[in-house]
Amino acid sequence: GMSRYRWPMHYALLNNDCLWVMDETQLMGVAVTTTAQLQGLREKLKTIRPTHSVWMSATLDPSELSPIDHPQPKSGWPKLELGEADQKSQTVQQRLNAIKPLHQAETTFSKGTQKSYAKSLADEVLKAHQPETLTLVVVNRVDHAQNIFQELEKFIAKKDRQPQTGLIHSRFRWADRRQQQDVLLAKSHTSEGTIVIATQAIEAGVDVSATTMFIELALWPSLVQRFGRCNRKGDCGIDDTPPAQAFWVDIDTQDKSAATFALPYRLEDLDTARKLLFNLADVGPAQLKSVQYDPPQEIRHTIRKKDVLELWDTTPDLAGNDLDVSRYIRDSDDTDFQVYWRNWEGNDSPPENFPKPVREELCSVPLSQNSFFRKNVNREDGWVWDALDRQWKSLKETGVRPGMTILLRDSVGGYKEKLGWTGDPKQKTKPVDIEDNTPDANEAMEEDDARVKPVELAEHLQDVAEEVAMIRKRLPDLDAVLPWEDLTTAAWWHDVGKAHEAFQTAARDGANGVPPDMLLAKMAQNGRPNYRVHKDEADVRRVGFRHELASALAYLAQHGEEPSANLIAFLIASHHGKVRGSIRSLPNEMIPDDPEIRFARGIWEGDELPAVPLGNGQTSQPLALRLALMQLGETEESNGHPSWTARILALREKYGPFQLAFLETLLRVADWRGSAKRETSND
């Protein structure tokens, strides 16, 4: 649910001065290679402060950490393992020597047992379960987990004494999953114990110790991780507690349709794991350490420098699409998108001022569920917010693609609180209650443009410049590293473009008692601003007006020959994340009658800016805005000066994408803090 215009800030903050910890790498697939590549590219392209990466797993293959831009050092990768003192600890010894007898379950999964599989395994699990203990069942697919859970609930409903049950997988809304995890992570269990059905989501970062475990046949590293959740503390069978027991459920890999059964794993991976299991009577750490396993060599997508540079520029292509990063994050063809449920009146599109989706209401759905949307979602019931056109578009028009965030009317169904995403339209869910002060979804009103009362432009420029100085003071080690004077200059100029008639007209809507000669920086209103200019006795709308572009043009017109002019202009233009690597008009803009007039982001060639006192003794002189730099190449009209794109590419080459993104983030933060100074709301 994050606004695309905040992507540059996350790009900056996640790549500068960070410690990345990748836990349980066997679940990451291609993302292991991606994280290693990113670490190598950070070192090559430079960051403001160093960023480090740590990969953690009992089954990590070191060769995965050595892609093209992150070669292994001659001394090898540094490792952190248990030392001698750790090995002597009684607690560590108890865990390392934990006893976990292994048995093959009676239930198997095959084409012939598909219909009875869930019921059969639920029955076997219930019979093996011990009172006052945790039984953990880990399967490979969400639909398996849901079906087994439902059959288990039916069996338990017939009993007088009922164990508590839980279901863990990745297709829950956040609050529902947290409720299920509370069952799993309880420090003690009821007299009848607890049975939890889970998918591989249980493998990552979940510290539980089950007395009884059932697991479906899977990739060997995944099996090792799952066995680690059985008798994890090594205390089963001690002090009259029930002994641990682990069962593995075979999956038929010989049938013609076996490849479907094996998903998300390959048949050969399951065959390898089965051979290893047949030779084991116990799956404690000491026994697993002696297993010889050679991970299969795979050809994977590798993110390269070109891709990282493309991700820096958040401008969509001409069709409105972004670089698809899913191939660098997951191996599976079953890529995800997110959905959330709301209710609104009528059969029209949702209101433009609908709050943005928040984490608590989002649910991940696999692309394989696309048929649900084709069959069950009418034109008026499924919607996607188009950030470029700033309007809702029907799902029937856009189709379903990985990475989308889709709004569904609550009557569409497909979700049940206790099961998660089911794809069953008969199962309805209530929308999640969200805070009333959630930011508008339409992104038309900038977070810092609307205030309780109008704010004078010169005051705001001074506030932001002071905040840059405050940030500089709090980062003393970067005092000689960052171009603070350029950041300060950008702060004084960043909102000069708000003197444009289109902004001032919109800002005065509802602003009573404001002197006519006062230039405003903030609007006393909420909702979409009506940007417009008065021409030939009529108002001409300026849809998509971007004051920051006008600010950058004004600065370059007066200071374009200065050494740091391009950096300062970029910082000015990018401080809302909307004008960055290129300048171009958008499909929804008003087009001038004269085809010779260039236009972009609500600004037309020749638009007048009045004189603007900056508040520091300087003044932006009155001028007419020129858009010659949106043309590619050096033209006669541009007097030999490079285009905007050429200027930005040169900046990116000089500073690198991570450092440049960090600089624009500093100004954005200063702008937010400066805007908050004049806030008089009680919130």
Torsion of CA 647, 652, 655, 661, to 10 degrees: 110
The answer to whether residue 441 scores a pLDDT higher than 60 is no
Residue 175's CB is within 10 A of a number of other CB atoms, namely 13
Report how far apart, in Å, the C-alpha atoms of 613 and of each of 59, 493, 571, 660, 668 are: 63, 10, 20, 28, 22
pLDDT one-digit tens code per residue, 457-482 = 999 999 999 999 999 999 999 999 99
Task: Give me the mean pLDDT over the 104-112 stretch.
Answer: 95
pLDDT one-digit tens code per residue, 37-71 = 999 999 999 999 999 999 998 778 888 899 999 99
Whole-number pLDDT of residue 682: 38
The answer to whether residue 171 scores a pLDDT higher than 90 is yes
Percent of the chain past pLDDT 70, that is, above it, reads 93
Whole-number pLDDT of residue 583: 92
Whole-number pLDDT of residue 555: 98
More confident residue, 440 or 626: 626
* Domains detected in the chain: 98-283 (3.40.50.300), 333-441 (no CATH), 455-677 (no CATH)
Q: How confident is the model at residue 626 (pLDDT cuts 50, 70, 90)?
A: very high
Which of 192-206, 215-229, 559-573 has the least mean pLDDT? Answer: 192-206
Q: How confident is the model at residue 348 (pLDDT cuts 50, 70, 90)?
A: confident
Bridge partners, residue 405, by sequence: 338
Bridge partners, residue 166, by sequence: 196
Report how far apart, in Å, the C-alpha atoms of 163 and of each of 126, 135, 157, 167, 611 are: 9, 10, 10, 13, 75
Q: Which two tokens stand for residue 186?
A: 């309880």
* Cβ-defined contacts of 525-530 (< 8 Å, 24+): 525/450, 526/440, 526/445, 526/450, 527/353, 527/440, 527/444, 527/445, 528/352, 528/390, 528/442, 528/444, 528/445, 529/444, 529/445, 529/449, 529/503, 530/505, 530/506
Percent of the chain past pLDDT 90, that is, above it, reads 65
Whole-number pLDDT of residue 683: 34
More confident residue, 574 or 369: 574
Q: How confident is the model at residue 333 (pLDDT cuts 50, 70, 90)?
A: low
DSSP 359: G
The answer to whether residue 202 scores a pLDDT higher than 70 is yes
pTM score: 0.81
Which of 248-262, 524-538, 656-670 has the least mean pLDDT? Answer: 524-538
Q: How confident is the model at residue 332 (pLDDT cuts 50, 70, 90)?
A: low
Task: Give me the mean pLDDT over the 339-350 stretch.
Answer: 90
Q: How confident is the model at residue 203 (pLDDT cuts 50, 70, 90)?
A: low
Averaging pLDDT over each range in 320-329, 358-367, 509-518, which range is the top one? Answer: 358-367
Mean pLDDT rounded to a whole number for the chain: 90
pLDDT one-digit tens code per residue, 279-308 = 999 999 989 989 999 888 778 889 999 999
Pairing of strands 363-366, 336-342: antiparallel
- Please report how the helices 565-573 and 547-559 are oriented relative to each other, as an axis angle in degrees rounded to 10: 170
* Identity of the amino acid at 372: F
Whole-number pLDDT of residue 442: 47
Whole-number pLDDT of residue 450: 58
Q: How confident is the model at residue 444 (pLDDT cuts 50, 70, 90)?
A: very low
Whole-number pLDDT of residue 152: 97
The answer to whether residue 205 scores a pLDDT higher than 80 is no
Whole-number pLDDT of residue 445: 42
Averaging pLDDT over each range in 29-33, 302-306, 513-517, 547-551, which range is the top one? Answer: 547-551
The answer to whether residue 262 scores a pLDDT higher than 70 is yes
Collect all residues with Cβ–Cβ distance below 8 Å to 669 and sequence separation of at least 6. Answer: 467, 471
Whole-number pLDDT of residue 469: 98
